[in-house]
Amino acid sequence: MSNPSHGSKVREARLLAARADALRNEGSYNQAETLFRQAIALAEEVFGPNHLEVAVILNNLAVLFKYTGRFDEAESLYGRALTITQDSLGANHPDVAAIYHNMGGLEHARGRYAAGEPFARRAVEIREKALGPDHPDVAADIAALAPILDGQRKYDESEPLYHRALAIFEKAYGPEHYEIAINLNNLAALKHAKGAFTEAQSLYRRALAIKEKLLGSEHPDVATTLNNLAVLLTAMGQREEAALLYGRALSIYEKIFEPTHPKVVGCRKNLDRAHH
């Protein structure tokens, strides 16, 4: 006979994890962390510490830690999630690829691009073989590999990857999807690096419009594109608009992150430079 109390705890753990994930996507990081930790504790109690449902929550909390600059904590959680998932599903399962994707993203956030490249390539390899070359999850992996290559100035390899990913996303989701906005932002950064300022500006503005429509004007992802566009406008000599955009981005970051967070510090420095 099933235990009603066990079933209730299972439902509670899943509800906590889902709510935490929603809060993370909204940019409510402190609230999300609290619920993620509660969900992990409960999931470990009802499923055991090496269950796939525990691995999923660990992975999602690690994503949050990457966003908030707590890179070592994120790395530890990704490592544990990867071990559980590989032991449960095998080394070539798409869920394993999803964690490699995130580990590559973590190294990108750290600025350790060469270290992230093997993780990103492994994600592409696994999911392309399992799902086919035109699957949106494969496009997400390709779009994550491209900025890691950008960080190493491998632009000739990365630019076709952005265009391939965009074509898959637009076919699957239409023109105004979150993945498209991220890809446009990153392609704009590449164009900026190559000196194609006008094209970069157009891509940033399109990415910003999609993000604001989907996420609202106060989301940290919106702030990221505001800051990036402002950096570009500064390089183009349009300092007045750049200062306005830096100010908007900084206001968003300061509501979410500690004053010492790299995004806050970097954006404040950018704003000071734009003023002077």
Range 231-241 average pLDDT: 94
In the chain, what are the helix, strand and coil shares in percent, each to the nearest 5? 85, 0, 15
Query: Which residue, chain included where needed, has tokens 């935490």?
Result: 20
Consecutive H or E run containing 92: none
222 Cβ contact partners less than 8 Å away, ≥ 6 residues apart: 208, 211, 212, 215, 216, 252
CA distance 215 to 199: 24
pTM of the predicted model, to two decimals?
Answer: 0.84
Tokens linked to 2? 């099933």
Q: What is the pLDDT of residue 35?
A: 97
DSSP state of 146: H
pLDDT surpassing 80 at residue 2? no
244-268 pLDDT, tens digit per residue, is 999 999 999 999 888 988 889 999 9
Closest CA to 201 of 184, 213, 222, 176: 184
Residues of the chain above pLDDT 90, percent: 89
149-191 pLDDT, tens digit per residue, is 999 999 999 999 999 999 999 999 999 999 999 999 999 999 9
| Domain boundaries along the sequence of the chain | 9-55+80-89, 188-276
The amino acid that residue 146 corresponds to is A
17-36 pLDDT, tens digit per residue, is 999 999 998 889 999 999 99
Domain range 188-276, its CATH number among 3.40.50.1820, 3.40.50.2300, 1.10.730.10, 1.25.40.10: 1.25.40.10
Q: How far is CA 59 from the centre of its chain?
A: 12
